[in-house]
Amino acid sequence: MSASTVEQTDVVVIGSGFGGAITAYHLAAGGARVVVLERGPWLQADEFDHDFRLGSSSTRVFDFVVGDGMSVLSGNCVGGGSVVYFAAMPRAPRFVFDRQGSIGRRMWPASITRDSLDPWYDRVAEALPISTTDWDTMTYGGGLFGAACAHAGHTANPVPAAIDTALCTNCNWMMSGCKFDAKRSLLLNYLPAALAHGAEIRPLHEVQQLSTTDGGGYRVHYNVIDGEDYRVSTGSGTIDAKVVVLAAGAGATPVILQRSEPTLGAMPHAAGRYFSGNGERLNTAILNEDRVREVLGISIDEAVTFQANQIGRGPCVASWDRLDGSLPEYSRFSLEQLYFPPGLGTILAQVPDATGPTWFGVEKKEILRRWKSWLTVFTMSEDDNEGVFGPPPPTGNAHRISQQMLGRGTISYQPTENTRRGWAESDAAVRDILERDGMSRVMPWTNDVVGAYTVHPLSSCRLGDDPATSALDENHELRGHPGIFVTDGSAVPGALTVNPAMTIAALAERAVPAIVRAARQRGVDVSYGAPSPDGETSARNGVLPLVSHLVAE
């Protein structure tokens, strides 16, 4: 290709997580020429490492951005968040779709309810698929939390997860990528199916901005990133497309749009505003194993190599008692047992009753000695969408601090009284469950070091019916910019009170027909109606009546 020749395609998809992989598959299967630009590396199962050494998969596939009052941990690799998530895939409770939040009226588009989204949830469940651990094969940590909930008069439920339990070894490193292909990441379904239909995936391509073309399409500007030092750019380029799908994640999509304003024109007011951390909060219980044995009748063989909570597979059990639509907003939350490998969790966990600093020192060293007896409980509640992004950095979504993983972002997040009340109520519930009868001492992770934190960033470019408070219309199209769609977590209007991956994926499935329709109007020869990536069609048949006008004869 000569220097004067501009590369062209039908659709550019920015990002390869749930929002990007799902749309890329359906558009490619429908006949469109699709190019996926992914800022992170492309790793396979045998490349995932069980350590936190610099340069290992654990630092290469994460993006940890520290902002003002909020830090965001997200995926940075082909497959996005599906490679580094814990694979929990619950559906959002019915009341979520009627939330009003800080705007005092329904945040979600009127066309999206739990009932209307269920057929799209079914499509995702068919593609991954999703299973539930039974109590007979429950991990120690999951069984302990379930028994503690029962002891305190709470219910507990196994968490639906995209895990092939027959392949899972209980190594508990799934957050850093699965070496055994037990976790059903997008590397095993939508992405290979997209490739089979001719889509092209380009790793280490970080999109910087968009501009318009003379033909009414869009030009995507990117840098090529060094595979070892993400601060270094080894080249740059552009590619023209008739349709652009932004799926770079809630911490990066709004930054790309902000940086594109001089070349695209004014962005909707809500682009880069109303960010939600999914109301997330983490508590650590330092367990007294003797009391656990006496009170709950649960113990584990002390001779095993991996002891106590180091055996497992992320979240297995959740208490959903407070997912009750009759409760007032900000009093609804889920509590989920999980386990972080040594690293981030050991740094941010506070020391119960510390007389000095709460996150380092002699007392912290002592509880680290008891690492095998930690149980982490993850709260997902309702926040006030307080996050706002400042002016974009010169490149990327953050000022890179280290060669991999760590950056300083422009997001500002100051929790409101509503958000803080929800955290306080959930903290009290965790203490009630796990401190009962002296089984443990519970402390929340510190907010002093990195502010609030989330592994499920949402809502920074959200859907809605009101143009004043939503950047996207009900079809995920960016207001004022036809042919640009957003399908990642930034499109979700607010906190979900449960893990959001299933909802992000279902919304992406739901968005595809509108993207197909727009692509046709812009001259792309594309159809809709591809089966699940593994060839199943039962869930497809469930949505066909909704999009019958788009299905090829």
Q: Which range has highest mean pLDDT (258-262, 301-305, 536-540)? A: 258-262
**Around Cβ 265, how many Cβ atoms within 10 Å?**
10
What are the tokens at 44?
Answer: 């396979």
Q: Which residues lie across from 330 on neighbouring strands?
A: none
Task: Name the fold adopted by 13-548.
Answer: FAD/NAD(P)-binding domain (3.50.50)
- In the predicted structure, residue 307 carries a pLDDT above the cut 70: no
In 3D space, the residue among 548, 498, 504, 535 whose CA is nearest the CA of residue 82 turns out to be 504
Residue type, 338: L
Task: Give kind and range of the element (H or E) at residue 135.
Answer: none
- In the predicted structure, residue 329 carries a pLDDT above the cut 60: yes
Q: Is 326 exposed, middle or buried (0-12, 13-18, 19+ CB in 10 A)?
A: exposed
Pairing of strands 233-246, 218-225: antiparallel
SS3 of 170-187: the string is CECCHHHCCCCCCECCHH
Q: What is the mean pLDDT of residues 66-80?
A: 95
Q: What is the mean pLDDT of residues 416-423?
A: 95
- In the predicted structure, residue 2 carries a pLDDT above the cut 70: no
Q: Hey, where are the domains in the chain?
A: 13-548
475-524 residue pLDDT tens? 999 999 999 999 999 999 999 999 999 999 999 999 999 999 999 999 99
Cα gap 223→239, rounded to integer Å? 12
**Chain mean pLDDT for the chain:** 91
- In the predicted structure, residue 448 carries a pLDDT above the cut 70: no
- Are residues 133 and 161 in contact, defined by beta-carbon separation less than 8 angstroms? yes
Cα gap 512→528, rounded to integer Å? 8
Residue type, 328: P
- In the predicted structure, residue 553 carries a pLDDT above the cut 50: no
What are the tokens at 476?
Answer: 């995920």
- In the predicted structure, residue 442 carries a pLDDT above the cut 80: yes
In 3D space, the residue among 250, 278, 274, 275 whose CA is nearest the CA of residue 497 turns out to be 278
Say what the pLDDT of residue 315 is.
Answer: 87
Say what the pLDDT of residue 434 is.
Answer: 97
Say what the pLDDT of residue 3 is.
Answer: 46
Number of helices followed by number of strands (H, E) in the chain? 13, 21
Pairing of strands 440-444, 280-287: antiparallel
In DSSP notation, 243-296 reads EEEE-S-TTTHHHHHHHHHHHH-PPPTTTT-SBB-TTEEEEEEEE-HHHHHHHH
In angstroms, the first-to-last Cα distance of the chain is 37
- In the predicted structure, residue 346 carries a pLDDT above the cut 70: no
Cα gap 88→202, rounded to integer Å? 28
pTM: 0.95
27-41 residue pLDDT tens? 999 999 999 999 999
Cα gap 548→464, rounded to integer Å? 24
- In the predicted structure, residue 94 carries a pLDDT above the cut 80: yes
- In the predicted structure, residue 175 carries a pLDDT above the cut 90: no
In this structure, what DSSP letter does residue 476 have? S
Say what the pLDDT of residue 356 is.
Answer: 61
- In the predicted structure, residue 359 carries a pLDDT above the cut 80: no
What are the tokens at 30?
Answer: 């429908």
Q: How far is CA 502 from CA 87, 131, 507, in A?
A: 9, 13, 9
Q: What is the mean pLDDT of residues 284-299?
A: 89
- In the predicted structure, residue 51 carries a pLDDT above the cut 50: yes
- Are residues 79 and 17 in contact, defined by beta-carbon separation less than 8 angstroms? yes
- Are residues 52 and 62 in contact, defined by beta-carbon separation less than 8 angstroms? no
Query: Max alpha carbon distance in the chain (Å)?
Result: 76
In DSSP notation, 294-314 reads HHH-----TTSSS-GGGSB-S
Cα gap 316→304, rounded to integer Å? 21
DSSP-H helix ranges across 50-139: 57-60, 81-84, 114-127
Q: Which residues lie across from 529 on neighbouring strands?
A: none
pLDDT band at 449 (very low <50, low <70, confident <90, very high): low
Percentage of residues in the chain with pLDDT exceeding 70? Answer: 92
- In the predicted structure, residue 472 carries a pLDDT above the cut 50: yes
